[in-house]
């Protein structure tokens, strides 16, 4: 049984209850973050919290998350659950409006804060290292994909559709150009060895791992460019991979059934994964 956090209390997961009037439940009026935990330490925590604050601002939440307090809760959950490798999920909603109303509740309505841990399995790491098959699919999400909200139904549907096509994930497409994966950012390595990923805009989540991986590329002296790329260019890439806090750097070995490179995880992704893990652990918060 897990100990989870809900509005100031540490309680067993089966006892954590939220009101039916909570706006997170009725309107997906909630923001979230997922922070990687390795060796009991938080990876890239300050950047996740910075993005959480940005999401709160963008949705005009009347309160700002207190990062120092949230760090203490993250630490306490790791401790109470004996978490070694895994992740911590945090969700903050606009709170319980005591009824259903499209208008926001009064500004003094407290938000709902919940957090829980998830354990990482060795099988996940292995799958990510050995490569994923992705299929491309229309990006039908709302046009503020830069805000990390719990409005994830389309991503979930796309993931299921990918599964029906015997693939592991979907890469989403707007105007013939890849935006990102269902829950990760998309990268390719072109034939001439350049790393390419879509530039930041409202079309994609500003991935924390994406940024860290670009920093690693800089350190490696690897040429990279932030620009859009088409489905066709991705299918012809020398190498492809995705990034996220949960999958870290995950090789993509086929796109729409077209084998990428030699069909095996490529060296650029593998090297970036290695450097990211080393740097991430060096800077991790215990
Ligand atoms: N998802 N793009 C989308 C749409 C995402 O949902 C995520 C993360 C990313 C990668 O962001 P980061 O590197 O900061 O994790 C990109 C999390 C892991 C999730 O929903 O579980």
Question: What is the pairing mode between strands 86-93 and 112-119?
Answer: antiparallel
47 and 145 inside one domain: no
CA–CA distance from 216 to each of 28, 45, 197, 210, 271 (Å)? 35, 17, 14, 10, 9
- Give the pLDDT band (50/70/90) at residue 183: very high
133 and 224 inside one domain: yes
Q: Domain range holding 101? A: 3-120
- Give the pLDDT band (50/70/90) at residue 127: confident
pLDDT over 80 (residue 129): no
Nearest alpha carbon, ligand 1 atom 5: 183
Q: Which of 148, 165, 191, 218 is catalytic?
A: 148
Pocket of ligand 1 (CB under 6 A): 34, 180, 183-185, 205, 207-210, 243-246
Q: How many domains does the chain have?
A: 2
245 and 206 inside one domain: yes
Task: Express each pLDDT in 56-87 by its tens digit.
Answer: 999 999 998 899 999 999 999 999 999 999 99
Task: Express each pLDDT in 234-267 by its tens digit.
Answer: 999 999 999 999 999 999 999 999 999 999 999 9
Going from the Cα of 51 to the center of ligand 1, the distance in angstroms, rounded, reads 11
- Token reading at 140: 């039908």
Going from the Cα of 76 to the center of ligand 1, the distance in angstroms, rounded, reads 24
Average pLDDT rounded to a whole number, residues 83-92: 98
Query: Rounded to two decimals, what is the model's pTM?
Result: 0.97
**CATH code of the domain in which 137 resides:** 3.20.10.10
Give the C-alpha separation, 33 to 71, whole Å.
13
Active site residue 279: no
Of residues 228, 215, 245, the one with CA closest to residue 187:
228
Going from the Cα of 156 to the center of ligand 1, the distance in angstroms, rounded, reads 13
- Give the pLDDT band (50/70/90) at residue 125: confident
Last residue of one domain, picked from the residues 120, 152, 186: 120
pLDDT at 143: 97
130 and 104 inside one domain: no
Last residue of one domain, picked from the residues 74, 104, 120: 120
pLDDT over 90 (residue 123): no
155 and 271 inside one domain: yes
Give the C-alpha separation, 53 to 222, whole Å.
32
Going from the Cα of 144 to the center of ligand 1, the distance in angstroms, rounded, reads 14
Ligand 1 atom at minimum distance from 209 CA: 13
Last residue of one domain, picked from the residues 120, 140, 160: 120
230 and 250 inside one domain: yes
- Give the pLDDT band (50/70/90) at residue 205: very high
Mutate to test the pocket of ligand 1, among 36, 159, 207, 280 (most ligand atoms within 8 A of CB): 207
Mutate to test the pocket of ligand 1, among 34, 197, 216 (most ligand atoms within 8 A of CB): 34
**CATH code of the domain in which 71 resides:** 3.30.470.10
276 and 146 inside one domain: yes
88 and 140 inside one domain: no
């Amino acid at each position: 049984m897990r100990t989870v956090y809900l509005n100031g209390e540490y309680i067993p997961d089966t006892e954590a209850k939220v009101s039916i009037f909570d706006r997170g439940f009725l309107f997906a009026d909630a923001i979230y973050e997922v922070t990687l935990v390795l060796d009991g330490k938080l990876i890239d925590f300050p950047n996740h919290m910075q993005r959480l604050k940005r999401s709160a601002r963008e949705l005009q939440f009347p309160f700002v998350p207190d990062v120092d307090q949230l760090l203490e809760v993250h630490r306490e959950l790791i401790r109470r659950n004996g978490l070694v490798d895994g992740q911590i999920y945090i969700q903050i909603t606009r709170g319980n409006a005591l009824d259903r109303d499209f208008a926001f509740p009064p500004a003094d309505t407290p938000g709902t804060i919940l957090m829980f841990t998830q354990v990482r399995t060795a099988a996940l790491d292995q799958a990510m290292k050995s490569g994923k098959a992705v299929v491309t699919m229309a990006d039908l999400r709302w046009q503020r994909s830069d805000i990390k909200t719990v409005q994830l139904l389309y991503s979930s549907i796309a993931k299921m559709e990918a599964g029906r096509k015997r693939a592991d994930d979907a890469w989403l497409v707007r105007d013939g150009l890849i935006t990102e994966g269902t829950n990760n950012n998309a990268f390719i390595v072109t034939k001439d060895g350049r790393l390419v990923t879509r530039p930041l805009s409202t079309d994609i989540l500003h991935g924390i791992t994406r940024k860290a991986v670009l920093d690693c590329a800089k350190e490696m002296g690897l040429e990279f460019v932030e620009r859009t790329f088409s489905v066709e260019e991705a299918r012809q890439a020398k190498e492809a991979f995705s990034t996220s806090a949960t999958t870290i750097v995950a090789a993509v070995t086929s796109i729409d059934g077209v084998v990428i490179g030699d069909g095996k995880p490529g060296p650029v992704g593998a090297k970036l994964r290695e450097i990211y893990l080393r740097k991430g652990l060096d800077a991790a918060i215990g």
